[in-house]
Amino acid sequence: MKTILLATLAMLTVVGTSTAKSPKTQTNVIAHRGYWKTSGSHENSIASIKKAVEHKMYGAEFDVWLTADNVPVVYHNSKTANGILIQNTTLADLRAKADKLPNGEVIPTLDEYLTAWNHGSTKLICEIKRHRDDQRNRDIVHEIIKVMNAHNVGADEAQYITFGRTSIEELLKADVPQEIIYLNGDMTPQELKDWGVDGFDYSYKVLDQHPEWIQEARELGLSSNVWTIDDPALMQKYIDLGVDYITTDDPILLLELLKKSKKKK
Ligand code: MG
């Protein structure tokens, strides 16, 4: 009897362990601001999305601002290199006055960026920047959706990421088919789930304090992404933690590490 009881307990322990630990999924590479650490490219440029597709990156992250005349453009900082505040400037003025990107391109519109992407296998990780007020944080969501729809971007071809709670609320209201991901690092996976978003994309500085959030997210059906990691030891740490995505400025290095990790398994 004792033996049977022990055997049953052992079996329960095995079952318990296997359900508590979901199977590890493959970590995927997100090229931060596209693939730009290569000749002829620059962050958030047309070349950066083309090269991300060429090199079969899983995803390419990029940043979107709304011009004063409601055109979404792809650029990181709020101001151009020569100090023009994008959200206060029309596209025509931006084209006339802004410095070119170091690779010779002009700041691309989202429409131009999506044309260059051309439904390549690389997923679009679209960061919606925080604008000066709630109205503009809502406006940008709708202008981006218009462009995405004009290009027939599918549910699995893109995800939206943002630090801005107003933009998240607007994406939820618009019921976009793509994933909605929160960047700000101040909510637990359960809070995100209750809010209705699909996952987090948090700084490694946040996740270093809460590595358990990766597993918690998986158990809740949320995705996990960590930014921005260029150090191989830190990349390996997050591969081992089973994060879904690592966002990096060095996607080739991460691809190599992932290949090695796969071989070891
Ligand atoms: Mg960004």
Render pLDDT for 40-76 as a digit per residue (tens, 0 to 9).
999 999 999 999 999 999 999 999 999 999 999 999 9
Residue 61 backbone dihedrals phi, psi, to 5 degrees: -85, 145
Domain count, the chain: 1
Q: CA–CA separation, 122 vs 56, rounded Å?
A: 6
pLDDT of residue 264: 74
Strands 59-66 and 72-74: antiparallel
In-domain check, residue 19: no
Domain span including residue 184: 24-264
In-domain check, residue 172: yes
Instruction: Identify whether the C-beta of residue 69 lies closer than 8 Å to the C-beta of residue 94.
Output: no
Cα(129) to centroid(ligand 1), Å: 8
Cα(239) to centroid(ligand 1), Å: 21
In-domain check, residue 34: yes
Q: Taking 50 as the threshold, does the pLDDT of residue 131 lie above it?
A: yes
Render pLDDT for 186-195 as a digit per residue (tens, 0 to 9).
999 999 999 9
In this structure, which residues have their CB less than 5 angstroms from ion ligand 1?
A: 63, 127
Q: Taking 70 as the threshold, does the pLDDT of residue 11 lie above it?
A: no
Cα(16) to centroid(ligand 1), Å: 39
Q: Taking 90 as the threshold, does the pLDDT of residue 153 lie above it?
A: yes
Cα(185) to centroid(ligand 1), Å: 14
pLDDT of residue 8: 46
Place of tokens 């995100």: 192
Instruction: Identify whether the C-beta of residue 162 lies closer than 8 Å to the C-beta of residue 128.
Output: yes
Q: Taking 70 as the threshold, does the pLDDT of residue 230 lie above it?
A: yes
Cα(24) to centroid(ligand 1), Å: 27
In-domain check, residue 152: yes
